[in-house]
Amino acid sequence: MKAALVLETGKILLGESFGATGEAFGEVVFNTGMTGYQEVLTDPSYAGQMVCMTYPLIGNYGINRVDDQSDKPQVQGFIVKEAARNPSHWQMEKNISRTLAQSGVVGIKGIDTRALTRIIREHGVLRGVITTEVENVSEWVPRLKTKSVPSDVVKKVSTPKIYTLPAIKNENEAVHVVVMDFGIKRNILQAMQESGFQLTVVPYSTSAEQIMKLQPDGVFLSNGPGDPKEVAVGIETIQGLLGKRPIFGICLGHQLLSLALGGDTYKMKFGHRGGNQPVQDLESKRVTITSQNHGYAISEESLNQTPLYVTHRNLNDQSVEGVKHRELPVFSVQYHPEAGPGPSESLYLFEEFAQLMQEWRAGYAS
């Protein structure tokens, strides 16, 4: 079946449908990962977006339940050059087309994804629609210019209720961490469990008072989708927690932390999405390759009026990748410190968080 991708610039790309049929609307973004398409599909940080994979062959090792980062695909639509028809892997349970169809996600294949990536890099993130109704498809162009992108997406992906997860190692010495779920990936939770954290995961709208009643040793601010300025309730909660417990934020949580302390954020031209972003620790000068998925960043200039200072920087565009509070045990990074998908060399950040919590607990006990 034929399908079309229509961009707000007026560009129309024709291809073939795979997955569900119908229409899908959202922001068109690109991911540079060569593998990890299943993690991309199921990452809640992609809620509201249609993802173009720049690597030309997608789906060649199929889909399995082990690598899911949430209960279902979260993307609005999926754009690939070629979708593998006969994938092969010992863990494979189904192919990518069947997965998308069962989840109601519209996909398009057979288009020049690298040309599409160049368009996004030139114009910035664009609103678009994938449709299997290709007759009179040009009528979508004026509609796209006035159509609003999905909003309030954190509410849609955050957990509706509190749940707990045990530490996988060091159970007798485990620290208790409350995780504010703005759209967290399962792999991040697992990495924290393996770091010796006993977790209580709470909805994004949980108040500071409710969190303190859980008696945590620290608070973790998770990744998630959308504009951080739309998550006012999360910013308010963070403000109520400052100085009461150690805090570690990543991705969206990193942005929310800066907003809570008086900083500002801005929408990037095309964001960072992939597993190959080079980040430098400004103190040690060490460079790590990181997994990232975000379209907003912290304004470095705005930090001059806050108690935060820059600790990490992106070596591609010099954007802020990490901040730390000058006095409180509070820090954050823009990237994902685990490997789902991507490198695992940033796992040391969980060790730093554990050290802060142990020091706080020792000081509190004395």
- Please give the single-letter amino acid code of residue 164: T
User: What whole-number distance in Å separates Cα of residue 201 and Cα of residue 216?
Assistant: 11
CA R_g for the chain: 21
- Active-site residue 236, yes or no? no
User: Which residues, 6+ apart, have CB-to-CB distance to 294 below 8 Å?
Assistant: 45, 251, 252, 255, 268, 271, 272, 273, 334
Q: Considering the domain 2-150 in this protein, what is its CATH number?
A: 3.50.30.20
Helix (H, G, I), strand (E, B) or coil at 280: strand
Return the pLDDT at 171: 63
Torsion angle defined by CA atoms of residues 190, 51, 221 and 329, in that order, rounded to the nearest 10 degrees = 100
- Active-site residue 251, yes or no? yes
From 8, 27, 39, 338, the catalytic residue:
338
The residue extents of the domains of the chain are 2-150, 154-365
- Compute mean pLDDT per 10 residues along the chain, 366 residues long, and list them: 94 95 94 93 94 95 93 95 92 93 96 96 95 89 84 93 90 86 95 93 98 97 96 97 97 98 97 92 93 95 96 97 97 85 75 92 66
- Please give the helix or strand (H or E) that residue 232 lies within, else none: helix 232-241
Domain covering 154-365, topology: Rossmann fold (3.40.50)
User: What whole-number distance in Å separates Cα of residue 330 and Cα of residue 356?
Assistant: 9
- Active-site residue 338, yes or no? yes
| pTM to 2 decimal places | 0.94
- Strands 23-31, 126-131: pairing is antiparallel
- Please give the single-letter amino acid code of residue 60: N
From 39, 52, 251, 254, the catalytic residue:
251
